[in-house]
Amino acid sequence: MRYKTIDGVIVEAESLHGIAEELWGQVMVPEPSLEAWMRQSADRARLWNGSILSTTSPEEHIRDMISAGLLTPLA
């Protein structure tokens, strides 16, 4: 799976969970857990463009990012 962020960064992993982990790892000062990263990511998306991102699972979070246009699937 390959996705492009709105900043033009390409992320690649075998699963949506892996995409979440890749994005978490790219933060300059990463949150202490994947769950904390999802909460911060959801807060930023809400402030940035009003998007509501789920924080119940990494897979749902990434699906919501795609739906909100924050990630674009690449072929």
Domain ranges of the chain: 2-74
Q: How far is CA 2 from the centre of its chain?
A: 12
pLDDT of amino acid 56: 97
- Report pLDDT digits (tens) over 28-63: 888 999 999 999 999 999 999 999 999 999 999 999
How many other C-beta atoms can be found within 10 angstroms of the C-beta atom of residue 27?
Answer: 11
Give the mean model confidence (pLDDT) for residues 4-11: 95
User: Residue 47: is it exposed, middle or buried by C-beta count within 10 angstroms (0-12/13-18/19+)?
Assistant: exposed
How many other C-beta atoms can be found within 10 angstroms of the C-beta atom of residue 48?
Answer: 11
pLDDT of amino acid 70: 96
> Strand, coil or helix: what is 58?
helix
How many other C-beta atoms can be found within 10 angstroms of the C-beta atom of residue 18?
Answer: 15
Percent of the chain with pLDDT over 90: 91
pLDDT of amino acid 5: 96
